[in-house]
Structure 1
């Protein structure tokens, strides 16, 4: 069995009320990196009682796991709304949990992920836009023409929203977070379908300093070296 499957088996044996303690003890925190394999395992098998126990606990790592579990269920309207709220959490690991969960949703139901990120790409909160961008721009999810087209569309739309902001708002945390994601997501979308991807990328205006930064960062990615 894989490490994730072993962890899933251990979690299944626990009462949901014991999940927060179990997850926190094995979180890898405090430390430079959280245990993402455990987040994956928890998100795959968490049922409503376990999710509720994690939300009630409220600590960062249990909340990250809850966010991933909820986002994995985003095909359901209530879970999508809850995941959208968690995507705006002040803690970056909780926000990242939403991205992880959406990508798990994409593994199981590509159409559901595409529908979710298309809806989120025009959200007024840039943290939600960032979650949509980072979720769809994952190489393993971009093996179909529909998914590749969605990734390119999300990059184009969220870049447009970023550049529509007044310059004084560009330094806000959510704007910086979205810009950082676009600094690598464009290259992933391009690599998935180079011809339309490059055409859209070349249309970006380098006159805007944030777009110029996004272009420069993507051009540095090795995945583009054999394409451009």
Structure 2
């Protein structure tokens, strides 16, 4: 039995027996990598993988729900990812609960929990992109800034961008978000929330443009020509990514030449 299979079996034994939950929590905390600069992403992914199944017993579901609201960072980080992993196989009742958990996590004050929400959305998209698109379509009209950041971060996921239709969807959503910024949608919003959204846009647009250069550079050009200093900063950050500067140097130079200095 390989290491990953053994870990999965151990997770199953601990998760499905309430008496073993303290052992599992101790294992997760001791191997979390926190406090530190990098959480144990592999451990979190292994935990989430257990839930990528339709046949999750009530005991395991109860553990997941309790961890979503747990103090600290690592247990919620793992649980929110697991919610996304379970979504495609969940029944209607659990799907509704997962949606609420993901939305709460997108708006959480802890940046790792917000990141887990984006990873959870990526899991949904990898299982069935239509499910992800339906979710985002239901949320995007009234989405808060931190939710918008989760959307673009989720879509800026290379496995999702292998399909042209997925990239076009991502570009359409990014255009909607940036148009909202240009038309005053962020006027009275929390500055820190706008900063977080901007940071997400500063790299995600380059991934979309690398996957679909014609449409992607058209969006970057439109944002650059807006003259808005916020958009210019976002465009410059994306043009500085090697995924664009190495593969499309002429397009990048052309756009940079026309940008107002920020």
Shared fold, TM over 0.5: yes
CA–CA distance in structure 2, aligned partners of residues 2 and 210 of structure 1: 50
Whether contact under 8 Å (2:103, 2:147) holds in the other structure is yes
Deviation at 1:43, TM superposition (A): 1.6
Alignment pair present for 1:85 and 2:90? no
Whether contact under 8 Å (1:133, 1:151) holds in the other structure is yes
Structure 1, residues 199-219: CA drift from partner, whole Å, max 9, x if none?
222111451111011000000
Equivalent of residue 44 in structure 1, options 49, 71, 80: 49
Equivalent of residue 26 in structure 1, options 8, 27, 31: 31
Alignment pair present for 1:158 and 2:177? yes
Correspondence 1:93-112 to 2 at 5 A = 93-112=112-131
Residues 177 and 5 (structure 1), Cα distance of their counterparts in 2 relative to 1, 3 Å cut: farther
SS at match of 1:142: helix
Structure 1, residues 38-97: CA drift from partner, whole Å, max 9, x if none?
111122214412202313533211011111112334552331122111110110011111
CA–CA distance in structure 2, aligned partners of residues 144 and 2 of structure 1: 32
Residues 129 and 30 (structure 1), Cα distance of their counterparts in 2 relative to 1, 3 Å cut: same
Which residue matches 1:210?
Answer: 230
- Aligned residues: CA RMSD: 2.3
TM-score by length of 2: 0.78
Deviation at 1:148, TM superposition (A): 0.8
Residues 132 and 167 (structure 1), Cα distance of their counterparts in 2 relative to 1, 3 Å cut: closer
Correspondence 1:143-154 to 2 at 5 A = 143-154=162-173
Q: How many residues align?
A: 228
CA–CA distance in structure 2, aligned partners of residues 216 and 207 of structure 1: 13
Which residue matches 2:258?
Answer: none
Deviation at 1:146, TM superposition (A): 1.7
What runs of 5+ residues in structure 1 fail to find an aligned partner?
none
CA–CA distance in structure 1, aligned partners of residues 46 and 115 of structure 2: 15
TM-score by length of 1: 0.89
What runs of 5+ residues in structure 2 fail to find an aligned partner?
52-59, 89-94, 252-262
Whether contact under 8 Å (1:4, 1:38) holds in the other structure is no
